Structure 1
Amino acid sequence: MSWILRTGASLGVAALALLGSAPAHADDASYLAALDANGVFKSGPPNARLSAGHRFCSQLRNGESPDQIVDSYARRPSFGGPSMVDDLTVNLRPVIDIAQHQLCPDTLH
């Protein structure tokens, strides 16, 4: 085999190794799976759970810290039993942490 073919084959193998070792891409599905796996913010439809996660990411990107988001979170009373708002209020910090890791890792310092 010529040196050109050997070099090309070596580069191809190296490229495949790099692609195989790339970190997993964070996305909506991984965020929902992480919430479920951690047993937090399980109430409500997926689109509402995603909306909350993306809202937290927006707040983080706008310069708010996780602690500021927790402190400023609007806590509304629920009527008629536990609600999605109650679930989120109780588990707010873990939900923000999961959102950072799964939806907006660029906000991690």
Structure 2
Amino acid sequence: MAVTGSLTQLTPHAHTRELGTASSAELQVSSQGLELTGRASPLLVGENRFEFTLTHDGTPVGGTPGRFTAVVHLPTAGTWQLQVSVRVSQFDQPVAVVRVPIR
């Protein structure tokens, strides 16, 4: 099985950079048999860390076992989407999308 992930930006409504304090958010989404759970921090403009586990129909996907980490630079405040897709068969590739607010 192959695991791919990408981040896509939703255009923020505010054009000013907000100063925020570091925090974290629990990530949890279920889609097409794909379960994603984890944590994102610090939820501020700049470098953010995403740690999550993936299962498909209850079975861990790839990784060790099903655990993944991504460090991503998010250049603007707004709501971003973490999109993770997993090829589980020749024809099936479920997608999970988590919205992440960045201050």
Same fold flag (TM > 0.5): no
* Structure (1 or 2) with the greater strand fraction: 2
| TM-score, scaled to structure 2 | 0.26
TM-score by length of 1: 0.26
Rg larger for: 1
Query: Whose helix fraction is larger, Structure 1's or Structure 2's?
Result: 1
